[in-house]
Chains A and B, each alone.
Chain A
């Protein structure tokens, strides 16, 4: 994750910890999008449809929780609490990419994944991990 030059990588700029419920919401996309990527890879290696079905459900579930986590972050930002701008931005982008990927996975057979679906799953995974990295990073002062 070093290549991401994000403001939150600087501990002094990092905000206070997420509310536990917000942290739980964020945990779903962080785990489900990578899960979908693994299912996609397994489908491409096996041609076994059930793996593509797994990916479809993982993406749909991840989208729901991404939307909730995004809404929470947006409300927090609008309420002028600690700056969660990057988290909002990444979750918003993740939601869009995830939605396109959900539609891609609604195709039948091999087209449900293919090159496009795999690429979208890789992008979603990177974005979800980045969102987790930022979301779960807190300043040293708070931790201390």
Chain B
């Protein structure tokens, strides 16, 4: 009888193997990424680099560049914005209030929390100022506080727009202020319940008349029910004067950063694709956002690759789905996008975009945790992504930082990187 018990228990042994996750050596960047078979393992692979301090170390930059921290001690910095006078704004926040609906939500939430700093989000905008132009930002002060998980920022004329997790706010900014106490005026409310993906990315059209807000899905793949996906996984186009909005593009699972391509003035985005289909699915992407386009979520990805987890399926929507322009790799978690203007850094870094990759949790071999450079020609990507800032994973495999927003400052020829793990803003310049 004991043997029966033992053999029953020994059935548990293969469970450990069932979680195996075979990362293949695939080319998953560029316009036509290799998309392997779906592989839904019994347990999703979860691996997060546990945090470790920089301890005096610095991120690595290519030869001819220098990097330095210009602000530390922030409260979960996400995105940055350069103002006309050279001041830098940093949005700080940690949003989302999605309830834990299943035992899995409790366990996965705990594991993911191990890769975060534990800092409470600042719910504020911090201003950094370099008074003497030496590249050191000696003033670090709170410009606006009492916000609700601010993320995207944009300045149009004297209107400063902040995208909280539940509303788009307008503040009056005449130039040079270091403190704004007047409460923001609500331009429009934004879908906020329950904000599984809470970040609201924001940019203004080239002529300043329209604002674009990226609104992420309320689930990985519809597991919170499709009712909460109304107005989610979309980019809104908002009339700046009236606050009226229309859906500009849909099926774009989590558009975490928006930017205007300076060559074409078209709207571009980086977006995070779905998890738990394997180590090499589904690649996150960089794409021009075509008006009226449907990018597949949740029914399919990269055009007609159907996701079997959605039920009922919608073949008519799958037929409508278009593929994004350029894959960045699976699970890299692209959260930042900026285009170079005014000749950029020159040389190999004159025309193109930087993308901040926060880093993976859903694969054994870590992906992302770096800032990549993507060369452009005539407004289109013209080569493979190249590592630009690395070293966020230390020699022991621990994360010293995780990049989020990236912003190019054309006046001072510098790249700003918000790092929400070490609560730092990094600044990359050409070495003198």
Contacts and interface: CB of A to CB of B under 8 A. Distances in A.
A104 B308 contact: no
Contact of B40 (A47, A86, A100, A107): A107
B1 A96 contact: no
Contact of A106 (B11, B12, B102, B222): B102
A102 B220 contact: no
Interface residues of B, number: 32
A88 B225 contact: no
B180 interface: no
A83 B307 CA distance: 50
Interface string A101-139: 011111111111000000000000000000000000000
Contact of B222 (A53, A77, A104, A108): A108
Contacts of A50: 225
Contact of A108 (B2, B12, B43, B309): B309
A57 B223 contact: no
B4 A85 contact: yes
Contacts of A86: 1
A108 B220 contact: yes
B312 A47 contact: yes
B1 A85 contact: yes
Contacts of A112: 223
Given A47-B311, A108-B276, A89 B222 contact: no
Main SS of the interface on chain A?
helix
Interface in A72-112: 74, 77, 83, 85-86, 88-89, 92-93, 96, 99-100, 102-112
Contacts of A83: 1
Contacts of A108: 219-223, 276, 309
B43 A48 contact: no
Given A100-B42, A108-B309, A109-B222, A93 B15 contact: no
Nearest to B14: A100
A66 interface: no
A68 interface: no
A83 B15 CA distance: 30
A88 B42 contact: no
Given A56-B103, A57-B103, A96-B11, A109 B223 contact: yes
A14 to B, nearest CB: 15
A57 B276 CA distance: 21
Contacts of B103: 56-57, 60, 102, 106
Given A56-B104, A99-B12, A111 B309 contact: yes
A9 interface: no
Interface residues of A, number: 31
Contacts, number: 83
Given A74-B5, A100-B42, A103-B42, A109 B15 contact: no
Interface in B221-274: 221-225
B1 A110 contact: no
Contacts of A100: 15, 42
Contacts of A47: 311-312
A135 to B, nearest CB: 15
Contacts of B308: 110-111
A53 B101 contact: yes
Interface in A47-72: 47-50, 53, 56-57, 60
Given A56-B103, A57-B102, A48 B225 contact: yes
Interface in B160-195: none
Given A53-B102, A60-B103, A92-B5, A110 B11 contact: no
Nearest to A113: B311
Nearest to A74: B5
A86 B3 CA distance: 11
A110 B103 CA distance: 17
The CB with the most chain B CB atoms within 10 A, among A86, A93, A105, is that of A93
A77 to B, nearest CB: 8
A43 to B, nearest CB: 9
Question: Closest 8 interchain pairs by CB?
Answer: A85-B1, A109-B309, A92-B8, A110-B311, A106-B104, A108-B223, A89-B4, A49-B225
Interface of B: 1-2, 4-5, 8-9, 11-12, 15, 40, 42-44, 101-104, 219-225, 276, 298, 307-312
Given A77-B1, A93-B11, A108-B223, 13 more contacts: A48-B225, A85-B2, A85-B4, A88-B5, A89-B1, A92-B4, A93-B8, A99-B12, A104-B42, A106-B43, A108-B222, A110-B311, A112-B223
17 contacts: A49-B222, A49-B224, A53-B101, A56-B103, A83-B1, A86-B1, A88-B4, A89-B4, A92-B5, A92-B8, A96-B9, A103-B42, A107-B40, A108-B221, A108-B276, A109-B309, A112-B223
